[in-house]
Amino acid sequence: MFRHPAFPRVLPFALYILFLALGGIASGFDTRWLYPVQVGLVALALAFFWRRYDELPKLRTLAGGHWALAAIVGFLVFMLWIRLDLPWLTIGEPAAGYDPRDEGKVNVLLAVCRIAGAALVVPVMEELFWRSFVMRWIDKPAFLTVSPTAVSLKALVLSSVVFGFEHHLWFAGIVAGLAYGWTYRVTGNLWVPTIAHALTNGLLGVWVIYTGSWQFW
């Protein structure tokens, strides 16, 4: 099992989901502090398996056009995300979200941990799982043999729909999944959707702090 190529792509995601579940059932302490532990453990798992992520070549090899594409996609997804919050485009009741304030003042450490985790750790973890693994696995269980540029439209759509329903803003999630999956399909380099995803999350974090729209966290 540990040698299976899916394992290093699934484990960091599974750790992340496990902590979401713990946060939902924990009581008696400030669960906001679970987030730094959560992203810290995910980051350690990613670092441990880093040499097995062949789909993430050295970042310096990324072409200038790919950087530009990632920036455009990341910005557009952010702009759409904060506008696709209509009640019928969400799952369940509006959540309070991650509120880093203590007595009305933003706890800087909590806010920095949240933005850093969302922009630096989560995009790598999710793109390895959803785009590199799930999207290609839909086409063929031996997913490493599937070129990202040859991924079928069915795999792109199905993986994006499931990715979308992982989020409270399900429709925004589907749009984001399609955008990130499309960039992987077009460029063949997982860094492009990962950077786009990181920019989306980073911009969203700054916007949430600035506007106090904690429900987006």
Q: How far apart are CA 173 and CA 190, in angstroms?
A: 18
Place of tokens 């999956």: 181
pLDDT at residue 111 greater than cutoff 90? yes
pLDDT at residue 94 greater than cutoff 70? no
Q: How far apart are CA 114 and CA 112, in angstroms?
A: 5
What's the mean pLDDT when you consider all of the chain? Answer: 95
Q: How far is CA 149 from the centre of its chain?
A: 21
- What pLDDT sits at residue 25? 80
CA dihedral 198, 160, 179, 209 (to 10 degrees): -40
CA dihedral 205, 209, 211, 217 (to 10 degrees): 50
Of 55, 43, 35, nearest to 11 by C-alpha is 43
Lowest-confidence range among 57-71, 91-105, 172-186?
A: 91-105
Q: How far is CA 172 from the centre of its chain?
A: 13
Of 142, 131, 140, 119, nearest to 188 by C-alpha is 131
Q: Are 3 and 144 in contact (CB under 8 A)?
A: no
- Verdict on whether the full-model pTM lies above 0.75: yes
3-state SS of 46-109?
HHHCHHHCCCCCCHHHCCHHHHHHHHHHHHHHHHHHCCCCCHHHCCCCCCCCCCCEECCEECHH
137-152 residue pLDDT tens? 999 999 999 999 999 9
2-61 residue pLDDT tens? 789 999 999 999 999 999 988 778 767 888 999 999 999 999 999 999 999 999 999 998
- What pLDDT sits at residue 58? 92
Q: How far apart are CA 159 and CA 155, in angstroms?
A: 6
Q: Are 99 and 214 in contact (CB under 8 A)?
A: yes
For residues 68 and 21, which has the higher predicted lDDT (pLDDT)?
A: 68
Q: Are 37 and 23 in contact (CB under 8 A)?
A: no
